[in-house]
């Protein structure tokens, strides 16, 4: 089970490190610590300090450059992220696409950069408007195929996490309805059986404590944001994992 948290740009550096320390302590003392892959994705400057404080928490990055080295001012390469110890990188989030112009081609190049450097991409997919689950799943499958195209063409196989985040649910008061999530993610998991490497499907988009219990039969975890800014909320989700496996 994956429990991932993107801190986006909400916290200061000091608050980020304190949050990671709190969650690392919660994870270290929790009975399900060996049954989950718990990960945090902070801002770039906080990554080294988070790696030092993370304990059993994996650390990832919120974005990555398409190239490994060169004259790309302001970019951060997957090679350097891997050198630091990052295990995951978020690619293709709706905010990156909308605000910073990440096209399908750019997303595919970033996925390629991650896997060729041994980092697991968290590829974000989701439909813009509310659709029936089957139609939403088809949109997501097209995005997955596009996102994997450059790595596939290069013959590179790596692990992959798909974060299903319907755009209309990002930042909303509530997540998508559990029936909708289950309908879409069940199709995505079936599709990924034909994709080489270890694959997982997690749900994001206003995910919060209490949701996993309702969708656990169709997902491999949650991708969380503002609803776990209090570290105690992570303990609540770990408790859910424990109850589901009891």
The string of DSSP letters for the chain reads -EEEEE-TT-S-HHHHHHHHHHHHHHHHTSTTTTT-EEEEE--GGGHHHHHHH-TT-EEEES---SSSSSS-TT---HHHHHHHT--EEEE--HHHHHHH---HHHHHHHHHHHHHTT-EEEEEE--SS---HHHHHHHHHHHHHHHHHHHHHTT----EEEEE--GGGTT-SSPPPHHHHHHHHHHHHHHHTTSSS-EEEEE-SS--TTSHHHHTTT-SEEEE-GGGSSTHHHHHHHHHHHHHH-
Q: What pLDDT, in 10s, does the model give residues 4-27? A: 999 999 999 999 999 999 999 999
Q: What is the pLDDT of residue 157?
A: 87
| pTM higher than the cut 0.95 | yes
Please, what are the domains in the chain?
Answer: 7-62+220-246 (no CATH), 69-174+187-194 (3.20.20.70)
Question: Which residues in the chain come in under a pLDDT of 50?
Answer: none
Q: What pLDDT, in 10s, does the model give residues 153-169? A: 999 989 999 999 999 99
Q: What is the pLDDT of residue 244?
A: 94
Q: What pLDDT, in 10s, does the model give residues 230-243? A: 999 999 999 999 99
Catalytic positions, written as ranges: 93, 165
């Amino acid at each position: 089970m994956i429990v991932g948290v993107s801190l986006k740009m909400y916290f200061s550096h000091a608050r980020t490190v304190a949050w990671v320390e709190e969650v690392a302590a919660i994870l270290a003392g929790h009975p399900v610590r060996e049954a989950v892959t718990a990960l945090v994705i902070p801002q770039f400057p906080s990554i080294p300090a988070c790696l030092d404080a993370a304990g059993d928490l994996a650390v990832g990055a919120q974005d990555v450059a398409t190239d490994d080295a060169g004259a790309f001012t302001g970019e951060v390469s997957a090679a350097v992220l891997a050198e630091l110890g990052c295990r995951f990188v978020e690619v293709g989030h709706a905010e990156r696409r909308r605000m910073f112009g990440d096209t399908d081609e750019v997303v595919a190049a970033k996925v390629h950069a991650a896997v060729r450097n041994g980092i697991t991409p968290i590829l974000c997919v989701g439909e813009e408007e509310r659709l029936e689950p089957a139609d939403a799943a088809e949109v997501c499958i097209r995005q997955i195929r596009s996102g994997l195209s450059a790595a596939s063409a290069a013959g590179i196989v790596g692990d992959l996490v798909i974060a299903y985040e319907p755009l209309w649910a990002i930042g909303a008061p509530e997540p998508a309805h559990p029936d909708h999530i289950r309908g879409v993610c069940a199709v995505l998991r079936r599709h990924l059986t034909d994709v080489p490497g270890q694959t997982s499907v997690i749900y994001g988009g206003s995910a919060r404590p209490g949701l996993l219990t309702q969708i656990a039969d169709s997902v491999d975890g949650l991708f969380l944001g503002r609803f776990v800014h209090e570290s105690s909320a992570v303990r609540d989700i770990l408790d859910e994992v424990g109850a589901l496996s009891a």
